[in-house]
A and B are shown apart, each in its own frame.
Chain A
């Protein structure tokens, strides 16, 4: 890795950069009083009005960099060296009072990844924006309120004058991120730091927010430091890109140049690993991600799935699945409304087949997965696994049947007992289901560890000794211990870094090839879904709006929502940078209905063989 001389187009153009970082090093105080360096000799500039993306995988130090700029790291546990010049102030030389007077909420403002938790839950959004307005300048309350409404209107929040008095919990994630942006804009900052601002949002909302940021940047003429791991977002947003790896800048330059001609192997590997929607055009079967050589960054060929689904008899047959939850509230804790989380969902999965459930948060896709294995008992309908109706089984029979359906969770660490070795965790269900002796379980666990790309020796380790990707492999091995016929993978790869994500997806396909297991793949990430699925079902507000073969759904979407969903997906192509989606600002609709709501009867139209679309009305 070479530390490149920072590109300073602004300097070349004769304007002073708004942000200039030179030789920044950051160390954290770790256990046993040792200092660990997390940023090493980082240098880059951001010119006025320019957008620079800091891109890298988790642990690359991109967020630490952004926090350093605002001096938000805990001074007792962090040590900063080098220089950060922001709007003429040397940030590292300012004290707290100076930071407040010149930097935070003045020259620079920041928005964060988690809009759900970044707003104070017990103050009205208006008050929080007004606080940002009045804390740096004298302003009558009425004027602050007027400006706050204006800001909310600027970030396209409908009914701003009314919504200013709402509390954060009354806003959806996307709307909260808009509020955050409005708050950041309150001080008319010269630099807006956006730390993964869309990562936690649904795709359609992400698109809206990215559009908004682009518009606002033009309106306010501010510079943006955009921190992200998503190459699609980088391509769409950044004028220039700084690629980071383990605290260092690997490569930086104009975004178009980096995408077109990456110089460094890491950059190449990163780009090669990114799932790109539409890259599967014409592929008949699910296709593995190309294997990238991390040394050279060169992608190898991609292997397609060899096995074919056995279409004689479905392994899973879900009919008219309905799951509703009561919402209680008020002083009485009475039922006040009902969430129609899953409404009349029917689908079938055949042995060796992968059906993906896609949709945005709250659409009911995860609830569907849980309802199938009866993790909630509020469901009606029928779920046949092979010859048995799961909803008709007694508790003991159901327990035995669980063997056949295994789940791979979204957060592997949370699903493992931290005080149990991985080996014990793997063998435990094996013994629980009386599939053999402990010794046989060990042998099997060792073999499976091998199959998921780990080693048998790792069985003696504890969960915290594994990386995120390794943990997910352990979870896959654990699911395989019981010889399941169906695996439900609920957002199983969503939290992984791109390169790891590709590996885990490939592993799942390997397993399907080898064992003929069927997958119910639940995900919001359509680019990954495209790789792995035979068929796709799109869910919206608890219902399947469209279901059919992968190519049919992605290439010939019929339902308006499917189209919207696909249109919102970012593509790592800098050429699309100036496009606007022109999406309507939407509050995510939730399937909360009054108690007396009767869901309308739905009708599906078969537009192509196996391709069903819900007919409106």
Chain B
């Protein structure tokens, strides 16, 4: 077991090393990304740029720069941003992480429940109106951009109907840490959760429905029916449990990616300053240290999510336990 964990960790390190090197190289291959000129400021004199270049060690060979950056990111943990000079990268990411985690975890609960419910309901009423209705809605959910949905939600809850009884409880946009005010935290997260979950409910609902319907073609479903099990039992216990495995795998990946920063659109629309927004801002101003940190952070979560998914699959599907 220990060996397994160690090997996982080793693989993670290798993956993250590769990603960091690629990020680093892409950055320096981008035209007009000279960090010295950016740090020095607009229309800086050439002497100033050279001074900055020396000061930041940007005149040293790339591998030295890479090494220093990694050291300052992981060992001394005092790596600072190129764009927001003095902004320490590690605390910034650490501060942004809880917001993203709040957003994604809450949404994940909603979308797993919603998606599974949608999928099962649609599969159970396959071809009839509940199915058609649900699939229509989920098609919409998948098709509508999160950003747009978020803006619409804001338009209603923050603008048009903000002062009515229905939405006056919605606080101003932004994130309040749970530790500060759990009530406010919850109220401010409700619509971000719903918005982010909406897309995934649609996605997962459709996938699960298809999965269940396909599972019904399986021989073991015929066996279950031949045994005399009720339709409900066949659906819930036999068909859904098999069909849910790909959903779990997808969930793990989605969750990892979102926690790693892919929820950027939802974060921006709802003023939640999470990791996604941090990444987005860093990319916008070509802030290499922040890009590096957020990219590594994201890859870390994806790798972790991968491991958790593997573990979950072992739990759900005994076939994978074969050693």
Chain A interface (Cβ < 8 Å from any Cβ of B): 70, 72, 76, 96, 99-100, 103-106, 109-110, 112, 114, 117-122, 124, 131-132, 135-136, 167, 169, 180, 183, 186-187, 329-332, 336
A89 CB to closest chain B CB (Å) equals 13
In the docked arrangement, what's the CA distance between A110 and B219, Å?
A: 12
Q: Which residues of A contact B323 (CB under 8 A)?
A: 329-330, 336
- Pairwise interchain contact A135-B233, C-beta atoms closer than 8 A: yes
- Pairwise interchain contact A167-B318, C-beta atoms closer than 8 A: yes
Interface string of B51-89 (1 = CB under 8 A from A): 000000000000000000000000000000000000000
- B226: which of A72, A114, A336 is its contact (CB, 8 Å)? A72
A-B contact pairs, 28 of them (CB 8 A): A72-B222, A99-B228, A100-B228, A100-B230, A104-B226, A106-B228, A110-B223, A112-B223, A114-B219, A118-B223, A120-B238, A121-B220, A121-B318, A122-B318, A131-B227, A131-B229, A132-B227, A135-B227, A135-B229, A135-B233, A136-B228, A167-B318, A187-B228, A329-B322, A331-B4, A332-B4, A332-B7, A336-B323
- Pairwise interchain contact A180-B223, C-beta atoms closer than 8 A: yes
Per the 8 Å Cβ criterion, residues 212-251 of B in contact with A are 218-220, 222-231, 233, 238, 241-242
B13 CB to closest chain A CB (Å) equals 15
Among the interface residues B7, B222, B226, which one has the most CB atoms of the partner chain A within 10 A?
B226
- Pairwise interchain contact A118-B219, C-beta atoms closer than 8 A: yes
Does B319 make an interface contact (CB < 8 A)?
Answer: yes
Does B34 make an interface contact (CB < 8 A)?
Answer: no
Minimal Cβ-Cβ distance residue in B for A107: B228
Q: Which residues of A contact B4 (CB under 8 A)?
A: 330-332
- Pairwise interchain contact B316-A112, C-beta atoms closer than 8 A: no
- Pairwise interchain contact B219-A112, C-beta atoms closer than 8 A: yes
In the docked arrangement, what's the CA distance between A132 and B318, Å?
A: 21
Minimal Cβ-Cβ distance residue in A for B245: A122
- A121: which of B222, B233, B242 is its contact (CB, 8 Å)? B242
- B225: which of A76, A104, A169, A331 is its contact (CB, 8 Å)? A104
In the docked arrangement, what's the CA distance between A288 and B7, Å?
A: 60
B214 CB to closest chain A CB (Å) equals 13
Per the 8 Å Cβ criterion, residues 225-281 of B in contact with A are 225-231, 233, 238, 241-242
Does B3 make an interface contact (CB < 8 A)?
Answer: yes
Q: Which residues of A contact B230 (CB under 8 A)?
A: 100, 135
- Pairwise interchain contact A122-B219, C-beta atoms closer than 8 A: no
In the docked arrangement, what's the CA distance between A119 and B220, Å?
A: 5
Q: Which residues of A contact B218 (CB under 8 A)?
A: 117
8 tightest A-B CB contacts, nearest first: A105-B228, A104-B228, A331-B4, A329-B323, A167-B318, A117-B219, A120-B220, A118-B219
- Pairwise interchain contact B7-A110, C-beta atoms closer than 8 A: no
Does B163 make an interface contact (CB < 8 A)?
Answer: no
Q: Which residues of B contact A183 (CB under 8 A)?
A: 223, 227
Q: Which residues of B contact A124 (CB under 8 A)?
A: 318
B206 CB to closest chain A CB (Å) equals 21
B239 CB to closest chain A CB (Å) equals 10
Q: Which residues of B contact A131 (CB under 8 A)?
A: 227, 229
In the docked arrangement, what's the CA distance between A192 and B163, Å?
A: 70
A109 CB to closest chain B CB (Å) equals 7
- Pairwise interchain contact B223-A120, C-beta atoms closer than 8 A: yes
- Pairwise interchain contact A167-B227, C-beta atoms closer than 8 A: no
In the docked arrangement, what's the CA distance between A329 and B4, Å?
A: 11
Does B310 make an interface contact (CB < 8 A)?
Answer: yes
Does B8 make an interface contact (CB < 8 A)?
Answer: yes
In the docked arrangement, what's the CA distance between A105 and B316, Å?
A: 27
Minimal Cβ-Cβ distance residue in B for A103: B228
- Pairwise interchain contact A105-B227, C-beta atoms closer than 8 A: yes
Among the interface residues B7, B8, B224, B241, which one has the most CB atoms of the partner chain A within 10 A?
B224
In the docked arrangement, what's the CA distance between A72 and B222, Å?
A: 7
Minimal Cβ-Cβ distance residue in A for B323: A329
- Pairwise interchain contact A109-B322, C-beta atoms closer than 8 A: no
Among the interface residues A100, A114, A180, which one has the most CB atoms of the partner chain B within 10 A?
A100
How many residue pairs between the two chains, A and B, have CB atoms under 8 Å in the bound complex?
87
* Interface SS of chain A: loop
- Pairwise interchain contact B223-A122, C-beta atoms closer than 8 A: no
- A167: which of B3, B127, B228, B319 is its contact (CB, 8 Å)? B319
Q: A112-B223, A180-B223, A331-B7 are contacts. A121–B228 as well, Cβ < 8 Å?
A: no
Q: A70-B225, A72-B226, A118-B223 are in contact. List 12 more A-B contacts (CB 8 A).
A: A117-B219, A118-B220, A132-B227, A167-B319, A169-B319, A180-B223, A183-B223, A183-B227, A329-B322, A329-B323, A330-B323, A332-B7
In the docked arrangement, what's the CA distance between A104 and B230, Å?
A: 10
In the docked arrangement, what's the CA distance between A105 and B230, Å?
A: 11
B322 CB to closest chain A CB (Å) equals 6
In the docked arrangement, what's the CA distance between A109 and B226, Å?
A: 6
Q: Which residues of A contact B231 (CB under 8 A)?
A: 96
In the docked arrangement, what's the CA distance between A169 and B4, Å?
A: 24
In the docked arrangement, what's the CA distance between A313 and B218, Å?
A: 51
- Pairwise interchain contact A121-B227, C-beta atoms closer than 8 A: no
- B228: which of A135, A169, A180, A331 is its contact (CB, 8 Å)? A135
Q: Which residues of B contact A331 (CB under 8 A)?
A: 4, 7-8, 310
Q: Which residues of A contact B225 (CB under 8 A)?
A: 70, 72, 104
- A120: which of B3, B127, B224, B322 is its contact (CB, 8 Å)? B224
Among the interface residues B222, B228, B241, which one has the most CB atoms of the partner chain A within 10 A?
B228
Minimal Cβ-Cβ distance residue in A for B316: A122
Q: Which residues of B contact A135 (CB under 8 A)?
A: 227-230, 233
Among the interface residues A105, A118, A331, which one has the most CB atoms of the partner chain B within 10 A?
A331
In the docked arrangement, what's the CA distance between A156 and B226, Å?
A: 23
In the docked arrangement, what's the CA distance between A589 and B322, Å?
A: 17
A195 CB to closest chain B CB (Å) equals 10
Minimal Cβ-Cβ distance residue in A for B239: A120
Minimal Cβ-Cβ distance residue in A for B126: A76
Among the interface residues A114, A122, A167, which one has the most CB atoms of the partner chain B within 10 A?
A122
Q: Which residues of B contact A112 (CB under 8 A)?
A: 219, 222-223
- B322: which of A76, A169, A180 is its contact (CB, 8 Å)? A169
In the docked arrangement, what's the CA distance between A158 and B322, Å?
A: 21
Minimal Cβ-Cβ distance residue in A for B241: A122
B249 CB to closest chain A CB (Å) equals 14
In the docked arrangement, what's the CA distance between A329 and B322, Å?
A: 7
- Pairwise interchain contact B226-A120, C-beta atoms closer than 8 A: no
Q: Which residues of B contact A100 (CB under 8 A)?
A: 228-230
In the docked arrangement, what's the CA distance between A114 and B222, Å?
A: 11
Q: Which residues of B contact A72 (CB under 8 A)?
A: 222, 225-226
In the docked arrangement, what's the CA distance between A120 and B226, Å?
A: 13
Q: Which residues of B contact A117 (CB under 8 A)?
A: 218-220
Q: A120-B242, A330-B323, A331-B8 are contacts. A104–B222 as well, Cβ < 8 Å?
A: no
Q: Which residues of A contact B127 (CB under 8 A)?
A: 76
- Pairwise interchain contact A70-B319, C-beta atoms closer than 8 A: no
B12 CB to closest chain A CB (Å) equals 13
Per the 8 Å Cβ criterion, residues 118-173 of B in contact with A are 127
- Pairwise interchain contact B228-A122, C-beta atoms closer than 8 A: no
Q: A114-B219, A180-B223, A331-B4 are contacts. A121–B229 as well, Cβ < 8 Å?
A: no
In the docked arrangement, what's the CA distance between A132 and B238, Å?
A: 13
Minimal Cβ-Cβ distance residue in A for B307: A331
- Pairwise interchain contact B226-A105, C-beta atoms closer than 8 A: yes
Minimal Cβ-Cβ distance residue in B for A129: B227
Q: Which residues of B contact A96 (CB under 8 A)?
A: 231
Minimal Cβ-Cβ distance residue in A for B314: A331
Q: Which residues of A contact B7 (CB under 8 A)?
A: 331-332
A27 CB to closest chain B CB (Å) equals 20
